[in-house]
């Protein structure tokens, strides 16, 4: 335990500072402070020592020089055992605690502040004394986060004004992370002013996962530092630890279902939505999503966009006497669960029950790191830029707009080449009834989607059924149209953009197929 006899406080953000300072004062701590912080303490009736009394120099150059001095850095850095005699000889009195947060550089950077002004918001003295205190954490404590005040206050009160080594060690790591991130933000901004696009990221909270995509691969999970919400924060309410593959599938499921306009359900298998439905009832949406591909749904990840109810989750038939009727799934995810729904799901020991917030998937960028290379792109958040009917048989855009959006959301999240067959049920639900994904050519994807749809609907032809075919990218040749028409499909939505668009449209006209173009591709690799 280290008794805090002298503390240096210099903060930009003075939130909750008064209580910490009062507790230090109550335990006889001498508080040293700089101009703005000192004025705050004086206003709160808390006595302090001017920093200039310790440095022997005035604050100068508009505040650029305040804390940087031989006396301050020595008081933080000297070894309290082997350097004790030298410190006395040099008249250096130890400082046992630094409370400091930095100039709000990133706030001004994000506001588009010009370089000439932004320079003034680069903190020099703050990082220097933070790093000095952190380096000497064997003897010195450093507090850089206002959210740590309560913990520090509690420990000071419990230990008569002293702080333990475990606390100092934890605060030390936090301090070095702060200065590293701060310097990274400055370096990135300076690169930008010089026309260089750079990116520096830090991740925290590393968790070792059981294994990666396969059992022989090692894997970990991290949280991007500085973000208010992340998929990392999803709550596992029950069941086994989530795996690497589970996390990828959960992301795909909740990203997809969160785009729905109505109550909906998505079932994901191997990172592809294989079942999707939306409408009035959560139970009916779940049933239709499951019926969209009963084979693939086995062992899948289920996601709802509204509170999971007992009516919906009982469709899993966990308590059915005939065990063959019980449905096996890996995960059920929802924004919340009713008490009876949660109790019902917990019947399955290993079923992972996950609560999420849509804030967790609202990132504006996607990052992919592979082989020491980083790919960075904005998220695919544009569903379409237009919907133009381009065939002689008109595509009824207004009548089909919700179904079009549903189909495009499907191909937006299905791996390319992606084809989705969607329909409106007699009850006015929207349902995915067949999809083709991950094929090296689009014809194969169309063929797979058609085969699945026929099997799911129990029919030999799709003729006479009001089905919309949605494609994530343009059709390069007429063979896709021929295959769809042969199956009985008469409505197609696709982005267009091929040099052969006119040939594809001409073929639609010959066959009486209606087609609309969106001008927006949705490749997903």
Q: Rounded to whole angstroms, how far apart are CA atoms 55 and 67?
A: 7
* Residue 48 three-state SS: coil
∠ CA 509-512-516, nearest 5°, is: 70
Closest CA to 118 of 186, 211, 51: 186
Q: Is residue 463 within 8 Å of residue 443, measured between CB atoms?
A: no
Say if residues 274 and 268 touch (Cβ distance below 8 Å): yes
Rounded Cα distance between 79 and 77, Å, is 7
Question: Is 485 tagged catalytic?
Answer: no
30-33/6-11 β-pairing? parallel
Q: For residues 153 and 143, is the Cβ–Cβ distance under 8 A?
A: no
Please name which of 128, 118, 95 lies closest in space to residue 29, comparing C-alpha atoms.
95
Round to whole Å and give the CA distance between 379 and 366. Answer: 6
Catalytic residue among 3, 135, 346, 362: 135
Q: Clarify whether 270 is annotated catalytic.
A: yes
Q: How is residue 116 written in tokens? A: 């000439």
Q: What is the CA radius of gyration of the chain?
A: 31
What letter does residue 290 receive in the DSSP assignment? H
Helix crossing, 397-413 with 244-257: angle to 10°? 170
Q: Are 254 and 366 in contact (CB under 8 A)?
A: no
CA distance linking residue 283 with residue 59, whole number of Å: 68
Catalytic residue among 93, 121, 238, 270: 270
Instruction: Please confirm whether the linkage preceding 493 is cis (ω < 30° from 0).
Output: no
Distance CA 38, CA 32 (A): 8
Give whole-number Cα distances, 110 to 105, 113, 186, 423, in Å: 9, 7, 12, 45
Give alpha helix (H) positions in 160-243.
Answer: 165-193
Chain CA centroid to CA 303, Å = 17
Give helix 165-193 / helix 149-158 axis angle, nearest 10°: 160
Give the chain's end-to-end CA distance (angstroms, integer). 55
Place of tokens 């609560």: 355
Distance CA 356, CA 250 (A): 10
Q: Please say whether the beta carbons of 442 and 416 come within 8 A.
A: no
With beta carbons less than 8 A apart as the criterion, state whether 420 and 404 touch: no
Catalytic positions, written as ranges: 135, 270
């Amino acid at each position: 335990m280290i008794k805090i006899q002298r503390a240096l406080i210099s903060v930009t953000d003075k939130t909750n500072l008064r209580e910490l300072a009062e507790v230090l004062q109550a335990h006889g701590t001498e508080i040293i402070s700089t101009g703005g912080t000192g004025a705050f303490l004086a206003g709160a009736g808390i006595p302090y020592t001017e920093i200039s009394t310790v440095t022997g120099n005035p604050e100068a150059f508009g505040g650029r020089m305040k804390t940087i001095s031989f006396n301050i850095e020595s008081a933080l850095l000297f070894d309290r055992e082997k350097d004790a005699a030298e410190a006395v000889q040099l008249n250096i009195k130890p400082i046992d605690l630094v409370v400091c947060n930095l100039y709000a550089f990133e706030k001004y950077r994000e506001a588009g502040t010009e370089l000439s002004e932004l320079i003034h918001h680069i903190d020099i003295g703050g990082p220097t004394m933070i790093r000095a205190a952190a380096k000497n954490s064997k003897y010195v404590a450093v507090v850089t986060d206002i959210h740590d005040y309560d913990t520090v206050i509690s420990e000071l009160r419990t230990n008569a004004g002293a702080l333990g080594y475990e606390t100092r060690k934890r605060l030390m790591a936090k301090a070095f992370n702060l200065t590293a991130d701060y310097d990274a933000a400055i370096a990135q901004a300076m690169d930008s002013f010089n026309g260089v696009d750079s990116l520096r990221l830090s991740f925290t909270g590393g968790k070792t996962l059981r294994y990666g995509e396969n059992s022989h691969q090692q894997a970990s999970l991290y949280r991007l530092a500085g973000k208010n919400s992340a998929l990392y924060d999803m709550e596992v309410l029950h069941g086994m630890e989530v795996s690497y593959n589970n996390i990828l599938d959960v992301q795909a499921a909740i990203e997809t279902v969160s785009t729905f306009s109505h109550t909906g359900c998505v079932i994901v298998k191997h990172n592809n939505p294989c079942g999707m439905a939306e409408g009035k009832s959560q139970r009916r949406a779940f049933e239709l999503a499951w019926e969209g591909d009963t084979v693939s749904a086995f062992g899948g990840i289920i996601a709802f966009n509204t509170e999971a109810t007992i009516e919906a989750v009982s469709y899993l038939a966990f308590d059915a006497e005939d065990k063959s009727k019980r449905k096996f799934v890996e995960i059920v995810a929802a924004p919340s669960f009713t008490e009876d729904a949660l109790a019902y799901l917990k019947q399955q020991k290993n079923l992972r029950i996950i609560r999420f917030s849509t804030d967790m998937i609202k990132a504006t960028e996607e990052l992919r790191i592979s082989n020491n290379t980083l790919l960075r792109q904005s998220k695919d958040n544009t569903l379409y830029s237009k919907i133009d009917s381009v065939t002689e048989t008109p595509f009824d855009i207004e009548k089909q707009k919700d179904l079009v959006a549903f189909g495009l959301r499907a191909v937006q999240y299905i791996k390319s080449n992606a084809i989705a067959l969607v329909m409106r049920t007699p009850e006015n639900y929207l349902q995915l009834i067949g999809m083709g994904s991950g094929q090296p050519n689009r014809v194969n994807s169309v063929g797979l989607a058609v085969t699945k749809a026929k099997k799911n609907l129990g029919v030999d032809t799709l003729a006479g059924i009001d089905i919309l075919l949605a494609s994530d990218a343009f059709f390069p040749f007429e063979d896709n149209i021929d295959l769809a028409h042969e199956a009985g499909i008469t409505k197609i939505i696709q982005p267009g953009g091929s040099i052969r668009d006119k040939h594809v449209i001409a073929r639609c006209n010959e066959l009486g197929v209606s087609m609309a173009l969106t001008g927006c591709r949705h490749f997903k690799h």
